[in-house]
Copies of this chain bind each other. A is one copy, B any other.
Amino acid sequence: MSVGSLLILPGDGIGPEVMAEVRRIIDWYGEKRGLTFDVSEDLVGGSAYDKHGVPLADETMAKAQEVDAVLLGAVGGPKYDDLDFSVKPERGLLRLRKEMDLFANLRPAQCFDALADFSSLKKDVIAGLDIMIVRELTSGIYFGEPRGIFTENNERVGVNTQRYTESEIDRVARSAFELAMKRGKKLCSMEKANVMESGILWREVVTEVAKDYPEVELSHMYADAGGMQLARWPKQFDVIVTDNLFGDLLSDVAAMLTGSLGMLPSASLGLPMANGRPKALYEPVHGSAPDIAGQGKANPIACILSFAMALRYSFDEGAEADRLEAAIETVLAQGKRTADLLGEEGVTPVSTTEMGDAILDAL
């Protein structure tokens, strides 16, 4: 019997390569653990544009709305740099996020023990780091109107609008508090309330929601100070909640600090569907890395860990997610490393597929 449905969108650049390894893992779960998924595959980003002239076809969007989980590789590449804004690869991803209403983007910034030396940060600053950034994903300056390039007084003006309603802030804050309850019970909210009114509202609503979570220790930080503190001593944080744009930047900085960028998955969650499962999309934090695409150099682990997150959050298979994560730890402990993680002594370089092989062996 199928555990549920999965739409796979490999996307562009290294997306297809890393997703190929995920498919082998999915097959393994079907054969060895009796967990079969109803898998379909489709196009997103530049590859969708090449075929359909849009970065996400309406049929693909409709499919995404129906499945239990979407698994996405990566989108974008220089080939599409000069496309009109409305059909850029990124618009496909943004359409998915918006129409599926995936308001809570969970981005773990975690330092894998075996990779602590690989960070640009000193080992004691980074070893053992395990924080979770909850980024609002369906509103803010990414989607606010008015937006565009207009002509005023004989010159062009670029306009975007940051807009947050109370209920948008409330729901993502709740997701963050819920996560904090399951973790270290510390939540730090970041905005620029000293400069932006939307930040003032953000702070007020988060403070209000905190009343429902008396066990969670809430703090507030200006986003610039937050970036500083992430760079100084990231272990001071447990869960961070922030808006779409600050979350984009801060989670990328945090991910890079861990030294484990090719290792970091993310989950984007929305409201529960009729079957009780949340609308969900899983994707690696890294991008499409067009410079190394097609060369067998890409690290498939972030994408595989995104599938592990799907097991945990969409299919309630936490134990199986643990199993997959443990297999990855084993492979790392064996010293197997894709090209992005070379540099230490005594490690064995492996290709994308060999990394997949090793993980399957470890499973």
Contacts and interface: CB of A to CB of B under 8 A. Distances in A.
Given A160-B162, A161-B161, A228-B261, A88 B253 contact: no
Given A167-B155, A232-B120, A248-B224, A85 B160 contact: no
A162 B164 contact: no
Measured as residues with beta carbon below 8 angstroms from the partner, the interface class of chain A is 35 or more
Contacts of A121: 120-122
A201 interface: yes
Given A155-B167, A231-B231, A198 B160 contact: yes
A349 interface: no
Count the copies. 2
A252 B225 contact: yes
Given A120-B233, A162-B159, A94 B195 contact: yes
Q: Dominant SS at the A interface?
A: helix
A133 to B, nearest CB: 12
B158 A195 contact: no
Nearest to A147: B197
A255 interface: yes
Given A156-B201, A158-B202, A253-B253, 14 more contacts: A85-B197, A88-B194, A90-B194, A120-B233, A141-B162, A142-B196, A157-B166, A157-B201, A158-B163, A158-B197, A228-B253, A228-B255, A231-B257, A246-B249
10 contacts: A88-B194, A120-B125, A156-B166, A157-B163, A157-B164, A158-B197, A158-B200, A159-B198, A161-B161, A232-B256
